[in-house]
């Protein structure tokens, strides 16, 4: 590096390295020594390879943290900003890095060190371009508040900037990279199905990505309720059958319904945590979507059934549903799962008159109610 030779092949790096060396801005060493004394910031970019069990191997993170802690010394007049950019699992800063710093520098290490987690979003072969034109900037601090030095570092970069707590920043790369893997896998599974059926995969792809209102948008990417209704479960099952029938083996698609069932149960646990047996519950919204009476495969029906099975005192407010007017599949789906449906439905006046042990909101039906008497309101549309 000191001779201007990059240890990796990446477009633009050789030129930047030579420019930095010529301007006296870059020098490379194999030992930290006393070089941190005059530094405001140390940026950690070591590898976190996979361990045999699939977890990240944190050996390099631990070792470089210890080396920096030893080299800092306790005499600094201003804190050293330690910025970690390596991909690390949530809890690493708190559970691994902080104990190492405390062991070397004492419990008052926070007077000497400002801890930052700043994940990088760099793609191989376009890393330099991605650094100067990032899709976003995520900065994790201990309290989620801004850092003056990080603002200075990024002052010439134009991108949405998010200051969050460290653990929320730590999970960001896992979310992004797993989603990218999901997208590639989904596209390839659809491609296999199209190939098996003799369809033009390019045309199918062009149609899919042209829909930026729903397909390529944040609309369905909001953590909240399980999917349901008359379309999604039915069509996923049908695509599963088509993929199996034509030999495409779409494993990602096969997992969707199982994952959705797991999410339904987790929402039940989330809604009923800390509730005493027999607690009174008002379920606001039974249909799949507000202002409709479509109960077919509504996850809210499944939630109501489980609440009844656990012997909670359940009432349901959904003015779009008239138990006496349900017909066909709507009637069958509702009453085979909740035979007592007609007794559970309450009027607006009854819903507002009582103070419930818990109010569970499943859709926008809650906007029709005054729930000010209730302290325990759980909104399953927005998980927190």
What angle do the packed helices 232-245 and 172-197 form, to 10 degrees?
60
102 vs 117: CA distance, rounded Å: 18
Q: Quote the tokens at residue 220.
A: 């369905």
Q: Quote the tokens at residue 268.
A: 């039940």
Among 225, 220, 227, 233, residue whose Cα is nearest residue 329: 233
Q: In this structure, is the dihedral angle defined by the CA atoms of residues 172, 178, 182 and 188, taken in order, positive or negative?
A: positive
310 vs 303: CA distance, rounded Å: 11
Q: Quote the tokens at residue 155.
A: 């002052």
Among 143, 164, 139, residue whose Cα is nearest residue 152: 139
116 vs 166: CA distance, rounded Å: 7
Q: Which residues contact 6 (CB under 8 A, 6 or more apart)?
A: 13, 14, 17
Helix (H) or strand (E) holding 19: helix 13-22
355 vs 375: CA distance, rounded Å: 9
Q: In this structure, is the dihedral angle defined by the CA atoms of residues 209, 212, 218 and 221, taken in order, positive or negative?
A: negative
The number of beta carbons lying within 10 Å of the beta carbon of residue 301 is: 22
CB 41 within 8 A of CB 83: yes
Radius of gyration of the chain (CA): 27
Among 206, 174, 168, residue whose Cα is nearest residue 187: 206
Is residue 231 among the annotated active site residues? Answer: yes
Q: Which of 194, 231, 246, 358 is catalytic?
A: 231
The residues annotated as belonging to the active site are 231
């Amino acid at each position: 590096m000191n001779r201007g030779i990059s240890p990796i092949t990446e477009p633009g790096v050789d030129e930047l390295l030579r420019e930095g060396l010529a301007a006296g801005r870059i020098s490379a060493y194999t030992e930290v020594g006393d070089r941190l004394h005059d530094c405001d910031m140390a940026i950690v970019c070591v590898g976190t390879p996979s361990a045999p069990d699939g977890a990240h191997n944190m050996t390099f993170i631990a070792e470089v943290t210890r080396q920096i802690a030893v080299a800092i010394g306790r005499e600094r007049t201003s804190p050293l900003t330690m910025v970690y950019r390596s991909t690390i699992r949530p809890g690493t800063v708190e559970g691994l890095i902080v104990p190492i710093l405390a062991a070397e520098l004492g419990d008052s290490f926070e007077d000497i060190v400002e801890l930052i987690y700043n994940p990088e979003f760099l793609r191989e072969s376009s890393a330099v371009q991605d650094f100067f034109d990032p899709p976003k900037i995520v900065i994790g601090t201990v309290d989620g508040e801004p850092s003056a030095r990080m603002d200075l570092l990024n002052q010439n970069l134009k991108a949405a900037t998010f200051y969050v707590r460290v653990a929320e920043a730590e999970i960001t790369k896992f979310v992004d990279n797993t989603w990218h893997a999901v997208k590639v896998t989904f596209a390839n599974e659809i491609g296999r199905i199209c190939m098996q059926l003799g369809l033009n995969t390019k045309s199918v792809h062009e149609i899919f990505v042209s829909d930026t209102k729903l397909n390529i948008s944040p609309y369905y990417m909001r953590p909240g309720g399980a999917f349901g209704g008359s379309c999604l479960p039915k069509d996923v099952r049908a695509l599963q059958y088509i993929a199996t029938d034509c030999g495409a083996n779409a494993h990602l698609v096969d997992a969707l319904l199982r994952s959705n069932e797991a999410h339904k149960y987790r929402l039940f646990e989330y809604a009923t945590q800390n509730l005493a047996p027999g607690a009174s519950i008002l379920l606001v919204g039974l249909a799949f979507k507000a202002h409709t009476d479509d109960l077919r495969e509504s996850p809210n029906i499944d939630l109501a059934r489980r609440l009844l099975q656990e012997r909670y005192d359940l009432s349901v407010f959904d003015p779009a549903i008239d138990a006496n007017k349900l017909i066909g599949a709507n009637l069958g789906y509702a009453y085979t799962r909740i035979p007592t449906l007609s007794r559970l439905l309450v009027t607006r006046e009854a819903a507002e008159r009582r103070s419930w042990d818990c109010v569970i909101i499943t859709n926008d039906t809650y906007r029709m109610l005054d729930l000010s008497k209730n302290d325990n309101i759980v909104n399953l549309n927005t998980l927190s």
